[in-house]
Amino acid sequence: RKEVEQDPGPFNVPEGATVAFNCTYSNSASQSFFWYRQDCRKEPKLLMSVYSSGNEDGRFTAQLNRASQYISLLIRDSKLSDSATYLCVVNNASRNAGNNRKLIWGLGTSLAVNP
Amino acid sequence: GAVVSQHPSWVICKSGTSVKIECRSLDFQATTMFWYRQFPKQSLMLMATSNEGSKATYEQGVEKDKFLINHASLTLSTLTVTSAHPEDSSFYICSATRQGAVYEQYFGPGTRLTVT
């Protein structure tokens, strides 16, 4: 099983649609979870951290289900500028404190928002 | 704040030559820097973790003698690809964490390396 698994997509949605991405992770001891966004041929940019109670930032809502080891990202009222690859990222839970900083990256889910 | 720069943004070199890539944290001190590589349509692959003043920790399968990392100060880390081959052509990205912020990584814009 991959450490972080995402549906690669692509998701093609019309402007204004609501779209949800899911991600599962294998290490039950992981403590930190993130969604990053990566545009074509660019570096990843942090979209939002994912907190246990779920969190919202404008049109974006992230949720965490520790029991199922599952993270989600919901985008409401999609804009053309939301077209990108969304990367699910989980910290490497390890007794080695240095290794805890290591992030495990999913392959990403590609989103295309169409006019 | 938390700006990370990389230089060069792209480079083309001949097979057998060495290429040095710089990663700088411009407005904060980076206790740890990470070097990643990304091939087309693939995920980021961590190559090594670099802590200021100590030897880098390389991931399994990454040759430390081929990818030399130096993290001489709290704002600069360098990656040198030695004796580059066409299969080393990739997008190399660095990231940095601030002291105390363990997981939040700030990424540089990346360096696209093409080896001919």
Q: What is the Cα–Cα distance from B67 to A38, expressed in whole angstroms? A: 25
Asked if B2 reaches chain A (Cβ–Cβ under 8 Å), the answer is no
Kindly report, residue by residue over A16-44, the tens digit of the pLDDT: 999 999 999 998 888 889 999 999 888 99
Chain B: closest CA distance from residue A25 (Å): 15
| Three-class DSSP category at A111 | strand
Chain B: closest CA distance from residue A99 (Å): 9
Of residues B113 and B43, more confidently modeled? B113
Other beta carbons within 10 angstroms of residue B9's beta carbon come to 12
Q: What is the CA radius of gyration of chain A?
A: 14
Q: Cβ separation of B103 and A34 shorter than 8 Å?
A: yes
Tell me which residue in A45, A49, A102 faces B49 most closely, judged by beta carbons: A102
Which backbone phi and psi does B34 adopt, to 5 degrees? -120, 145
Q: What is the Cα–Cα distance from B83 to A103, expressed in whole angstroms? A: 29
Size of interface A-B (CB pairs under 8 A): 46
Q: What is the pLDDT of residue B55?
A: 86
Confidence of residue B35 (pLDDT cuts 50, 70, 90): very high
Q: Cβ separation of A101 and B93 shorter than 8 Å?
A: no
> Residue A99: pLDDT above 80?
no
Asked if B11 reaches chain A (Cβ–Cβ under 8 Å), the answer is no
Strands B76-81 and B4-7: unpaired
Distances (CA, A) of B94 to A11, A42, A113, B21, B67: 28, 12, 29, 9, 13
Other beta carbons within 10 angstroms of residue B109's beta carbon come to 14
Tell me which residue in A43, A87, A105 faces B109 most closely, judged by beta carbons: A43
Q: Cβ separation of A43 and B103 shorter than 8 Å?
A: no
> Residue A1: pLDDT above 80?
no
Q: Which residues pair with B45 in a beta bridge?
A: B37
Q: SS in 3 state form for A24-74? A: EECCCCCCCEEEEEECCCCCEEEEEEECCCCEEECCEEEEEECCCCEEEEE
Chain A: closest CA distance from residue B43 (Å): 5
> Residue A101: pLDDT above 70?
no
Chain B: closest CA distance from residue A78 (Å): 23
Of residues A91 and A110, more confidently modeled? A110
Look over chain B and give the mean of its residue pLDDT values, rounded to a whole number: 91
Of residues A14 and B31, more confidently modeled? A14
> Residue A93: pLDDT above 80?
no
Q: Letter for the amino acid at B77?
A: S
């660019």: which residue's tokens?
A42
Are A36 and A86 in contact by the 8 Å Cβ rule? The answer is: yes
> Residue A100: pLDDT above 60?
no
**Range with lowest mean pLDDT among B3-12, B68-77, B92-101:** B92-101
